[in-house]
Chains A and B, each alone.
Chain A
């Protein structure tokens, strides 16, 4: 489809457990992003990557880490999940800094 796949689509996990979400792209785009979407807050940037092994923090990065060991994969890890991290997580890609993003279909994460 759009060349970007998120997995899993849904996950329920317990407080304190580690969780990793995966974003996979087939577009060979340089930039990749992780956002979370919550009611009343819109889309907020967690982390982003501007190349393999090049990542930086967004506005809500506390409690999250990322890794990008190859162009096509961008992983988001919650080291120890908390209930405040219950959210819908979106991955996005962009070809260049001046192009709009293409979003994945999202991962709905529930921390109980």
Chain B
């Protein structure tokens, strides 16, 4: 079953606000990934993190790989309406080969 706890499950914010979401696990991961899913489409990779402590940005998005290797967070600054969607974290463990474990997702709604 799911081994990643993603929170919050949903967020309702105003345009222009900053957003933060995170994933935690009792297991150690050696890769953390963040995806976004638009309605009717498959998830799209936003950011990939490969080292503990790594902080990576992609435009208004910033993600960090936790020092303990058991957590990661994603921040979105100055949200805009097209940020609406479901955000998933995913982790890869050393023992799982190429398989990823996904969080349950954070549904983001941005009010104009």
Interface string of A56-74 (1 = CB under 8 A from B): 0011000000000000000
Question: Which residues of chain A are within 8 angstroms of B105 by Cβ–Cβ distance?
Answer: 42
Interface string of A85-96 (1 = CB under 8 A from B): 000001010101
> Which chain B residue shows the least CB distance to A60?
B1
Partner pick for A98 among B1, B31, B43, B45, CB 8 A cutoff: B31
Give the CA-CA distance A50 to B90 in the complex, in Å. Answer: 19
Partner pick for A43 among B48, B97, B98, B102, CB 8 A cutoff: B102
Residues of B within 8 A of A (CB): 1-2, 6, 31, 33, 35, 40-45, 48, 50, 88, 90, 92, 97-100, 102-105
What are some 12 contacts across the A-B interface (CB < 8 A)?
Answer: A42-B104, A43-B88, A44-B2, A45-B99, A90-B42, A96-B98, A97-B98, A103-B35, A103-B44, A105-B40, A105-B41, A105-B42
Residues of A within 8 A of B (CB): 31, 33, 35, 40-45, 48, 50, 58-59, 90, 92, 94, 96-106
Nearest 10 CB-CB pairings of A with B: A103-B42, A97-B98, A42-B104, A43-B102, A100-B45, A31-B98, A42-B102, A100-B33, A100-B48, A103-B43
18 further interface pairs, Cβ-Cβ under 8 Å (given A45-B99, A98-B31) = A35-B102, A42-B102, A42-B104, A43-B43, A44-B2, A48-B98, A48-B99, A50-B98, A59-B1, A92-B42, A94-B98, A97-B92, A97-B97, A98-B50, A100-B90, A101-B43, A102-B45, A105-B41
